[in-house]
A and B are shown apart, each in its own frame.
Chain A
Amino acid sequence: MGWLGRTINSSIGKKFIMAFTGISLILFLLFHLAGNLTLYAGKDAFNAYVATLDTVKPIVRIVEVGLALVFLFHIFNGIKLWIENKKARPVNYAVNGSSKNSTFYSRTMIHSGSIILIFLILHLTTFWATFNFTGHPVDGSHEYFDIIIYFFQKWWYALIYFIAMILLGFHLNHGFQSAFQTFGWNHNKYFPMIQKIGSIYAIVVAVGFGSLPVYFYLSSVLGGN
């Protein structure tokens, strides 16, 4: 293995990959959320937003390939680290005292991450696939807003979405500040700020995305729209 391979495979190198891909995904989520919130502005606003994205389709496709790679690196590396770290302690303690020295969010990254991965697969096979290729599951039309309504009026679909978004918030609450610590940007003045911004960001993302299935499911039940 050359110096680059040894760097990437070192413990700190793997941390850096997690942090770098994590920050990239954090930025992506912000753009994604901004777009999704047009759903609250109604059918025309959302369809216009998707239509705007369609006009720059080649760029969107390039970004998607980049995103896929970032996701795969983050997921693959995360699972690899989890397995390696399990092996570093072959016998567990009889009494688990971890709640006294660390946060719940920091200890459950693999669990929140795994559920987000399941969600991601569901998300891609439903919204992404219908938007880009197959169209509305009933009539194959590309009425984007109607596709959203179609899925979110299923209670189980809305529930999975909601739960996954809460766990995404947990994941981000630890991940945001953790990335900065990994980059070595821990400073008396700025790190407490970064931790607060991370928590606010996590809440904004969880509430922003998580409120959509709740809103559309409830409107369908209560006969809105």
Chain B
Amino acid sequence: MSDFDFDIIRRSWPLMREATWVSIQVFAWSLVLASFIGLLFALMRLSNVRALRWIAGIYVWIFRGLPALVILFFAFFWVGRVLDLTSFQAAILGLGVSSGAYKAEIIRAGILAVDNGQREASDALAMTRAQSMRRIILPQGIRVMIPNYVSNSTLLFKSTSLATVIGLNELTGKSRQLANSTFKPIEILTAAGVIYLVLTSVLVGAQVLLERRYAVKA
């Protein structure tokens, strides 16, 4: 093995930085989509209407049962062709839909963890179901959701690497190309690993801050 070549990393940096930014954008948008889907389907699963519960249950079963890669293929080759999506948009759709199924379960568990007395009390105060959910249940459920929610989001960030398979120039795919063209796979792939580690560590830091923010004040 030759010596570790820092120069190649320095020269590849502009391209890698660009690709990192693509990864971050895909992550941010699919997180928004997944959170929206997650909340919607969590509420549907807890609904009084049986049909809504079924639909949400089937959604979670299907999208947690399939590899994210297969969902991305659907998003790109099927939905993407019908709606004429770019690989960037298809990646957001696929990852959002896939992660949304996990988020739904996490949010549902958080809601169920809130003490029943809270629900009864808000009933007694004549709040509507929507009101009690928004004002009483969700704010308390968030505390329980945070750890799982953030670690699932960290997984989502790492999953953005899959988008290379549908032709998106994100960090993992770009690094692989660079590794091929420079014949320095160790340097380039290690650099990519460091970038991912820094960014996932930021997310873990965010988790600690969020947990502190939502901790019960004693």
Q: Are A and B bound to each other?
A: no
